[in-house]
């Protein structure tokens, strides 16, 4: 089939949203649009054209057990058997979050907040996830603890090394600016003023530097991890 025919693309997108595709074709189509953002936008446009029909459907409160079941299934799927520091310190959790980062945060917030009357653990506002060259998250920046502050911590303990330090950089338009030294121990946090962060879309990076940090105002050692700033922290 020729998938580049605009009319066919439109028709497939609409049939996908309408739900008239056989289940197997639908899954094939999902794989197709996963690598075709332009086509995914056509699909999104159809979902938005037809979703007003759903807003007129009577809303019904789902029972709380639905949430508990979801939680149990997600825990089984995402969490290692006994994370050292609960879910917050779990590498698998952050790895999952790095995959889900970006605009997807919006969907997760809806997902978490969708069940009222339930006490949830405070969900950190993730400002950036910094991944190493193999794509594994190594540092995470979250909003807080105070307004206007951002906490940066190691997702997993980095190798202790007294001859080097880890320095954080904000990179706006390709120009690095030093933001301070990080503490590599698991559980240690470096707090920086949110105002010093580059705007969303620009980069945070961590480089390996002498113990007292770079003396030139520019990274001198290798850049170990980097990640986009996802949002402006509150």
Partner 1 sequence: MLYTQTAARLFGVAVRIVGQREEAEEVLQESFVAVWQRAGDYDAARGSATGWLTTIVRHCAIDHVRRRAGRPESRSAPEDLLLKFAAGERTDRGAELSVLQRCLGELDEQPRRAVLLAYVYGFTREEIATGCAVPVGTIKSWIRRSIERLKRCLDG
Q: Which residues bind partner 1 (CB under 8 A)?
A: 10-11, 14-15, 17-20, 22-23, 26, 34, 37, 40-41, 43-45, 47-63, 65-66, 69-70, 73-74, 77-78, 99-104, 106-111, 113-116
**34 vs 218, beta carbon nearer partner 1:** 34
Min CB(172)–partner 1 separation in Å: 22
Report in angstroms how near the CB of residue 196 gets to partner 1 at its nearest. 26
Give the nearer residue to partner 1 in terms of CB position, either 41 or 199: 41
Number of H helices, E strands in the chain: 7, 8
Q: How far is the CB of 212 from partner 1 (least distance, A)?
A: 39
CB of 75 or CB of 161, closer to partner 1: 75
Sheet strands (E) in 103-195: 126-132, 137-143, 149-154, 165-172, 175-182, 189-193
Nearest-approach distance from CB 165 to partner 1, in angstroms: 33
CA nearest neighbour of 224 among 142, 145, 127, 159: 159
Nearer to partner 1 among residue 120 and residue 157 (C-beta)? 120
């Amino acid at each position: 089939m020729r998938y580049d025919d605009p009319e066919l693309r439109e028709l497939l997108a609409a049939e996908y949203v309408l739900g008239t595709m056989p289940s197997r074709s639908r899954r094939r189509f999902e794989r197709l649009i996963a690598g075709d953002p332009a086509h995914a936008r056509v699909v999104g446009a159809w979902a938005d054209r037809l979703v007003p029909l759903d807003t007129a459907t009577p809303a019904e409160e789902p029972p709380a057990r639905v949430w508990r079941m979801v939680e149990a299934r997600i825990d089984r799927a995402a969490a290692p058997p006994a994370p050292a520091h609960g879910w917050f310190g779990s590498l698998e959790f952050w790895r999952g979050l790095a995959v889900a980062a970006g605009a997807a945060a919006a969907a997760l917030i809806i997902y978490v907040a969708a069940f009222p009357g339930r006490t949830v653990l405070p969900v950190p506002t993730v400002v950036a996830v910094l991944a190493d060259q193999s794509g594994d998250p190594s540092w995470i920046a979250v909003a807080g603890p105070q307004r206007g502050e951002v906490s940066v911590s190691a997702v997993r303990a980095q190798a202790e090394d007294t001859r080097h330090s880890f320095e954080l950089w904000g990179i706006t338009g390709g120009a690095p600016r030093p933001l301070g030294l990080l503490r590599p121990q698991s559980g240690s946090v470096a707090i920086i003023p949110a105002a010093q962060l580059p705007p969303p879309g620009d980069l945070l990076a961590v480089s390996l530097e002498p113990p007292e940090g770079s003396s030139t105002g520019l990274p001198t050692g290798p850049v170990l991890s980097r990640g986009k700033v996802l949002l402006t922290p509150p």
